[in-house]
Amino acid sequence: MTLVTPPARLLSAAQGAFTSRSGRQGKAYYDEGRVTIEGADEDTVVAFVRGSRPRPYGVAVRFAEVATRGRLQVSCTCPYFLEGYPCKHIYATLMAIDGAGIQMVSPSLIDSRLDVVPFKPDLPLDQDEFFAGEHSLRRLTGGEEGPTRTPEWQDKVRALRRALGNWQDKLSEEVVLERGAPRELRFVLDGPRCEDLQQLVVAVEERRPGDPRPRPLGLRARDLHLVAQPEARDALALLIDTPLEGPAASTTERLFVVPVSAWPRTLAALMATGTFLVRGAEGDAEGALVEDEGAPFDLTLAVRPEDDGWAFRGELTRGELTLDHEDLVAVLPAGFVALPDRVVRAEPAEGLSWLRYLRKAGGLRAPQDVLPRALAELVAIPGLPPLALPEPWREEVVTPEVEAVFAEPKPRMRHVVGQVFFHYPGGRFAVGSRESGLVDELAHRVVRRDQEAERTRILRLAALGVRRAEESEDLRVQVLQEHLPGLVRQLVQEGWRVEASGRRMRGLSSQSLQLSSGVDWFELSGELDFEGVSAGLPELLEAIKSGSRFVRLGDGSEGMLPESWLERYSALANLGSKKAGKLRFASSQAILLDLLLEGQGDVAVDEGFERARATVDRNARVEALEEPEGFVGTLRDYQRLGLGWQVFLRKVGLGGCLADDMGLGKTVQVLAMLAMRKREAIGRPSLVVAPRSLIHNWMDEARRFVPDLKVLAFVGPERHEALPELPSYDLVITTYGTLRRDVEALSGVALDYVILDEAQAIKNAGAQASKAVRLLQGEHRLALSGTPVENHLAELWSIFEFLNPRMLGARRDFASLARPEQRGALTRVARGLAPLILRRTKDQVLSELPAKTELTVFCEPDEDEARRYRELRDHLRRSLTERVERDGMGRAKIHVLEALLRLRQAACHPGLLDEKRRKQGSAKIDTLLAHLTEVLEEGHKALVFSQFVQLLSIVRERLDAEGISYAYLDGSTKDREAVVRSFQEGSERSVFLISLRAGGLGLNLTEADYVYILDPWWNPAVEAQAIDRAHRIGQTRPVFAYRLIAQGTVEEKIQALQAEKMELAEAIVSSHEGLIERLTLDDLRGLLS
């Protein structure tokens, strides 16, 4: 113990532990000399303080250093301290210690804040017992001048005793807690702290049996079982893990902070206790808070007359009830307000900061004559709540006009920077400005910004790809340069004011176009007017070709091309060729031009085009025709219409595509037309080009339906001997391969009709077969295909380039119609092609055809098969994702295809990846065998398709083992007709295993009424073709088609992709675009998930 002067700072370090009242009373006790320090050693002081009763209260103060922090342990014999609160007697004692110059605190901690905690001293605090008992403290009264230095050995013994005593004190406190009686809790919403911290702060107090008043909560999380009330226990459980920490924490209260997300639940739990109070600046409310079940209160800033000026009051209104800001206990965060008896919600929540300010400031006032200026000052502040104004003033929320101003694009910069303004009567606000509105003094009106409308416009900008400019302090926006034209166009259409690069945007007013004709062409010329400024057709076509929606006008402004105009003239621009400022078309395009210019009264056409149009109109009606002489058989009604359609094509001088469903008799309709041509004695042969597998079918059908037709199969090594005799035949049938090899000879033969069967064979315009068919000299051309578009739109171009050269313009330009922004133009082209494509489905024309039911069977692999699949999938996913992210889908395509192939094989049978596993079972083949066994027992026949020949060979081994006879067909099969007859005409073979590539076309297998697709293909049209081998004319029984899908594999994902991507070619001929051509990285991730 050391005596020093001036006094030490013990009291100031412990000041925060005492209430202001305890501090005032303690200082008065010290000033009145009521404190006597009776004993002290190195870290402990005992004093006696005369209070209101005869005997003095004993006070003990001990200093301890714990983990580099100072802790002041205190004890007093007064009732107030026994309730857990540092009392005035301890406060007076600390003043006496400082006054006596006793330094208890380590020099390193003398300026630190001390934790003040209660403790149980190991010496008597009764005055008589203290003086009579034995203890180590030296008395500082009774004539002694101060403490004397004790021997070193005695210091060590005392230190040991203190250490043991501290440990025993802690242990005894825990024992008392464990054995203590159940607590009753009280929860107090601390209004002042809530307002200061803008958090929901709750103090928790406890009362034990016999306690005269609540004390701060002494329980920890492990002591929840000591809480008597279940509701209080539940509420405390929500609070116990979120204590208030930091400078705002209290050493005399247990305070908790509630996260905003947990408010509704926590408030409900607290109110359910019945002991939840609110504490305002004036103290605790008397009653418990109850749940408010009404609607939120509406917050307004009311301007009320007061004396010779105006008072601005915060008011909360609900129905007939209005509360002034002075009626509130506390304004809480997140839109809550505490009243004396409940917590309510108020709107708008962002305006509650005004209530807090008004409560602290005691309201706002302004002189009578400055109201307009005061309102102007207020509306310049963000978050202003709705106003209640005196007459004649009014408040109006006005929807703004929006303006987007974009700067000139800078070289080598990816983005264009712009600003967005909201125009209101009397002014404008830039995006990001925080003013609440403006004042129109002449109209006595406060114009409030329509924040919701502004937010909607900003969200619309974001949806259009506009982002906040980087490093922008004034909330400028930016957009990719290549997106700016489309953005400006869209904004103008939606009613925005738009300025880009300092130029005004103009709308289309009128157009003046002329269509003239030449020997074998038509030309379109003219100009458009944009609000008095003209643009010629060359500039317009250049804008369209470049993909722009704007054209630069002579005065420097921009003319915006309307969507409807673009839909019509984009198609024209893509179908024609530019010649000397005009757009030239082939004569074969007259039917398209007529449709695309339909309804355009401001397009003048010359006499030559009128004649072409009249020819089309004169023959536009397609009539069903009876079977011609020489045709043996009966045509169905739709086939008679097909015959009439072929005659229509011949009259208008155009080729067409017969795109009926498989099995509807396209061959028969063509043979009926050829019978008609034979009677007309044309004197030239017609040529059919077909896949090799269909040659015999054509020969058989021709013999059956037109027996007097002279037919030659131009195939085989001896075919060249018949070349000089070709003109003497009515019909010559050859293959695509033969044509490719003999194109020089065949292109010199004058032909009546050139007919392509399965015309999708020339889908690749650059392939030799495609080039060869275009060299043939046919007077008329016809294409047969149930799926003229299998994968992408360029395939249709290739077919029509054969049928009607130059009709669809350049291939690249026509393919551009597949872009999403050209979908309207594509639809118009489709309407123009409609007369040239005849497509009927079975559902439309064959009501008598038996029903077709398509089902999906999910095969669940066993654990071992599923595990091997997952291991392969995970390996491929890692390697492929890295490669695609690095190189892009285009460069990684071959690796993607290979990986997907391996996954599809793994989904079918492990033997497709590892020859050693051929004998193992697979869920898919086991399921197939179970199905086949059942349907064969019932007397049915079944087709089994797979694109994997190796998988079919595994199925063959299983069928052999089961003793099931079958027919088999793949690309290597020599005598296809004999194999087909063995299945169709015999009863021995009830199963037909067929390679999807080799047998998906041209086969008539109506003996089967069950079809199994073993593995899904990317193009569902290929699967449909396979199923239609059985579901076609001649079928008398319902057909059941099953797709076998391995559960949990890439096959499920392929099905989902098929459903998502069947859109583009529907616009033309109701077929489907190929999936593999359109795979994105997201699609790939889905397939490998």
Quick one: pLDDT at residue 992? 95
The one-letter code for the residue type at 1058 is Q
For residue 893, how many C-alpha atoms fall within 13 Å in the half-sphere facing its CB?
8
pLDDT (mean) for 896-902: 82
Distances (CA, A) of 351 to 75, 267, 356, 387, 1073: 48, 22, 9, 11, 56
Contacts within 8 Å (CB) and 24+ apart, 691-695 = 691/735, 691/736, 691/757, 691/758, 691/761, 691/1001, 691/1002, 692/735, 692/737, 693/976, 693/998, 693/999, 693/1001, 693/1002, 693/1003, 694/757, 694/758, 694/1001, 694/1002, 695/733, 695/735
> What is the helix (H) or strand (E) element at residue 165, kind and residue range?
helix 152-179
Quick one: pLDDT at residue 447? 92
| Predicted confidence (pLDDT) per residue in 87-140, tens digit | 899 999 999 988 888 877 666 665 567 778 888 887 788 777 777 666 666 655
Q: Are 672 and 698 in contact (CB under 8 A)?
A: no
List the domains of the chain with CATH numbers: 10-148 (no CATH), 184-291 (no CATH), 297-390 (no CATH), 395-501 (no CATH), 525-618 (no CATH), 637-845 (3.40.50.10810), 852-1087 (3.40.50.300)
Query: Do the strands 57-66 and 656-658 form a parallel or antiparallel pair, or are they unpaired?
Result: unpaired
> What is the helix (H) or strand (E) element at residue 478, kind and residue range?
strand 477-480
* Total Cβ atoms within 10 A of residue 57: 27
| Predicted confidence (pLDDT) per residue in 16-69, tens digit | 788 888 888 999 999 888 999 888 887 889 999 998 777 899 999 988 775 556
- Token pair, residue 206, equals 């406890």
pLDDT (mean) for 669-697: 91
| Predicted confidence (pLDDT) per residue in 906-930, tens digit | 888 999 888 888 888 888 999 899 8
Global pTM reads 0.46
pLDDT (mean) for 789-817: 74
Residues 6 or more apart whose Cβ sits within 8 Å of residue 511: 526, 527, 528, 529, 565, 602
Residue 1085 predicted with pLDDT over 60: no
- Report cis status (omega within 30 of 0) of the bond before 6: yes
Quick one: pLDDT at residue 3? 34
Give the separation between CA 826 and CA 1068, rounded to whole angstroms: 8
Between 513 and 628, name the one with better pLDDT.
Answer: 628
Give the separation between CA 1022 and CA 1071, rounded to whole angstroms: 10
- Secondary structure in 3-state letters for 1033-1052: CCCCCCEEEEEEEECCCHHH
- Report cis status (omega within 30 of 0) of the bond before 124: no
The one-letter code for the residue type at 158 is R
pLDDT (mean) for 517-541: 78
Distances (CA, A) of 358 to 199, 279, 311, 636: 19, 19, 11, 89
Which has the minimum average pLDDT: 165-179, 765-779, 818-832?
A: 165-179
Distances (CA, A) of 599 to 117, 544, 594, 595, 602: 94, 21, 10, 9, 9
| Predicted confidence (pLDDT) per residue in 348-389, tens digit | 888 888 888 888 887 788 898 888 898 988 888 888 889 989
Give the separation between CA 1040 and CA 557, rounded to whole angstroms: 64
Phi-psi region of 236 (alpha: psi -120 to 50; beta: other; left: phi over 0): alpha
Residue 630 predicted with pLDDT over 90: yes
| Predicted confidence (pLDDT) per residue in 533-559, tens digit | 888 877 787 777 776 777 888 888 878
Give the separation between CA 458 and CA 419, rounded to whole angstroms: 11
> What is the helix (H) or strand (E) element at residue 876, kind and residue range?
helix 863-891
Interhelix angle 893-908/863-891, nearest 10 degrees: 160
Residue 180 predicted with pLDDT over 80: no
Give the separation between CA 609 and CA 611, rounded to whole angstroms: 5
The SS3 assignment for 630 reads coil
Q: Are 188 and 202 in contact (CB under 8 A)?
A: yes
Residue 736 predicted with pLDDT over 90: yes
Distances (CA, A) of 119 to 42, 84, 426, 1019: 17, 10, 71, 83
Residue 158 predicted with pLDDT over 60: no
Quick one: pLDDT at residue 175? 36
Give the separation between CA 999 and CA 395, rounded to whole angstroms: 78
Quick one: pLDDT at residue 174? 40
| Predicted confidence (pLDDT) per residue in 954-990, tens digit | 999 999 999 999 999 988 888 888 888 889 887 789 9
- Report cis status (omega within 30 of 0) of the bond before 348: yes
Residue 7 predicted with pLDDT over 60: no
Quick one: pLDDT at residue 534? 86
Task: Quote helix, strand, coil % in the chain, to nearest 5.
Answer: 40, 25, 35
Quick one: pLDDT at residue 707? 95
Beta bridge partners of 521: 586
Residue 525 predicted with pLDDT over 70: yes
Distances (CA, A) of 69 to 64, 120, 166, 599: 9, 20, 16, 91
Residue 868 predicted with pLDDT over 80: yes
The one-letter code for the residue type at 1052 is E
DSSP state of 216: E
DSSP state of 662: T
Give the separation between CA 504 and CA 179, rounded to whole angstroms: 85
Quick one: pLDDT at residue 162? 42
Beta bridge partners of 297: 346
Q: What is the mean pLDDT of the chain?
A: 81
Quick one: pLDDT at residue 166? 43
pLDDT (mean) for 987-1015: 85
Residue 170 predicted with pLDDT over 50: no
Quick one: pLDDT at residue 448? 92
Quick one: pLDDT at residue 609? 74
pLDDT confidence bin for 481, thresholds 50/70/90: confident
Give the separation between CA 163 and CA 17, rounded to whole angstroms: 25
- Secondary structure in 3-state letters for 56-67: CEEEEEEEEEEC
pLDDT (mean) for 1011-1031: 83
Quick one: pLDDT at residue 109? 60
Residues 6 or more apart whose Cβ sits within 8 Å of residue 1010: 931, 935, 940, 941, 942, 943, 1030, 1039, 1040, 1041, 1042
**Nearest CA among 608, 616, 622, 621 for reference residue 592:** 616
> What is the helix (H) or strand (E) element at residue 76, kind and residue range?
strand 69-76
| Predicted confidence (pLDDT) per residue in 555-576, tens digit | 888 788 877 777 667 767 777 7
